[in-house]
Amino acid sequence: MNTTDDYIPVSLDTIRVGTTVGCDLYLQNCIDGVSKYILYCSGTNVIKPDKIEELQKNKVDRLFIRKEDQKEYLKYVESRLKHIIKNDKIQNKEKVRVVYDVAKNIMMDVFEDPRSGKQVERSKEWVSNAIDFILTNKAFLPNVISIISYDYYTYTHSVNVAVLGLLFSKYLEIHYEEMHALGTGLLLHDIGKTQIECEIINKKEKLNNEEYARIKMHVELGANILMEIGGIDSISFFPVMQHHEKYNGKGYPKGLKDDDIHTYGKIAAIIDVYDALTTKRSYADARKPFSALKIMKEEMGGSFDERFFREFILFLGSQGEKTS
């Protein structure tokens, strides 16, 4: 028997007349405190104007989908993400949730099929839409912080790093074209981990020397995958290749130092570590932002470019917007 936990609410305003959603839509009916879900429209049927008008007239602002159909629904909203972002009827928090969940869905597919040019194109398109939203929305950072995933999976980490990186690049007033290239690189920065054994990626105990050497290979493996696919801006490779380089030269894969590390490599390194510290890992609990920044400053001294690290702290404290 289906229960409330089997269903997820979706905003009526994400559904467009004249389209097929691809998954069944349900109405929630509460009787004596018990929720029942009634099939409203089959996923193969075209959404008709009178059906939407009827719901609006009855002040119904959300429908429900089965949890198992969420992937199909997210592909549907991905195809019309630009329209959703521009729809003034949808609250900003709802838009942020949709943008974030669509990115997670894309990255799950990227990690399932990393050599697919189609998945990379979807990633680039998501970055374009996310930038358009970020540049016109002052409340993006506090909204995304409230929904960001604090359980560490490689795909959620990739999305977190991309979202925080795009918001930080807006704060730094990086130009649109470079924001897009940087955002694409941040979203795909760990694609090389698809080539590393799951036992190593998910190991709870400390990695031995052989395992650590293997996991360090993900950087160059990722760059090789993206080069094979093609169509990636050269700037996008800096976050991929340099997110484990350290300002003091003790990073990998090349042991680059100081300004031999590209600006976008420096930014990627800060955000990559910050997100890893503030999300729950198999071997460590999530730290609070202040605690994470303290660790980065005191225990990882010399790892980061001080100027960008200070800017990142100011960025987090400012809710993503410069005051002057």
pLDDT tens-digit profile of 133-179? 999 887 777 778 777 766 567 889 999 999 999 999 999 999 999 99
**pLDDT value of position 201:** 87
CA-based torsion, 49, 55, 58, 61: positive or negative: negative
**pLDDT value of position 150:** 60
Measured CA to CA in angstroms, residue 96 lies from 117, 140, 187, 300 at distances of 26, 7, 16, 32
Measured CA to CA in angstroms, residue 121 lies from 110, 187, 218, 230, 273 at distances of 10, 12, 21, 10, 26
pLDDT top residue among 52 and 220:
220
Measured CA to CA in angstroms, residue 216 lies from 115, 209, 266 at distances of 20, 11, 18
**pLDDT value of position 173:** 95
Q: What is the dihedral of CA 78, 101, 231, 80, to 10 degrees?
A: 10
Q: What is the DSSP letter of 261?
A: S
Is the Cβ–Cβ distance between 269 and 296 less than 8 Å? no
pLDDT averaged over the chain? 91
Nearest of 118, 302, 270, 70 to residue 189 by alpha carbon: 270
- Domains in the chain: boundaries: 1-68, 80-317
Task: Count Cβ atoms within 10 A of the Cβ of residue 313 and give its class: 0-12 exposed, 13-18 middle, 19 or more buried.
Answer: middle
The CATH code for residues 80-317 is 1.10.3210.10
* pLDDT at 84 > cutoff 80: yes
pLDDT top residue among 180 and 150:
180
pLDDT top residue among 151 and 44:
44
pLDDT per position as a tens digit, 203-213: 888 899 999 99
Neighbours of 289 (CB within 10 A): 14
Written as six digits, the tokens of 107 are 């990255």
**pLDDT value of position 279:** 86
Query: How crowded is the C-beta side of 57, counted as CA atoms within 13 Å?
Result: 6
What gap in Å lies between CA 261 and CA 253, rounded to an integer?
12
What gap in Å lies between CA 239 and CA 271, rounded to an integer?
10
**pLDDT value of position 203:** 84
**pLDDT value of position 282:** 64
3-state secondary structure of 232: coil
Nearest of 226, 251, 271 to residue 123 by alpha carbon: 226
pTM more than 0.85 = yes
Q: How far is CA 94 from the centre of its chain?
A: 15
pLDDT per position as a tens digit, 112-141: 999 999 999 999 999 999 999 999 887 777
Question: What does the pLDDT average to over 222-227?
Answer: 97
Question: What does the pLDDT average to over 214-225?
Answer: 97
Instruction: Work out the percent of the chain whose per-residue pLDDT is above 90.
Output: 77
Question: What does the pLDDT average to over 44-48?
Answer: 94
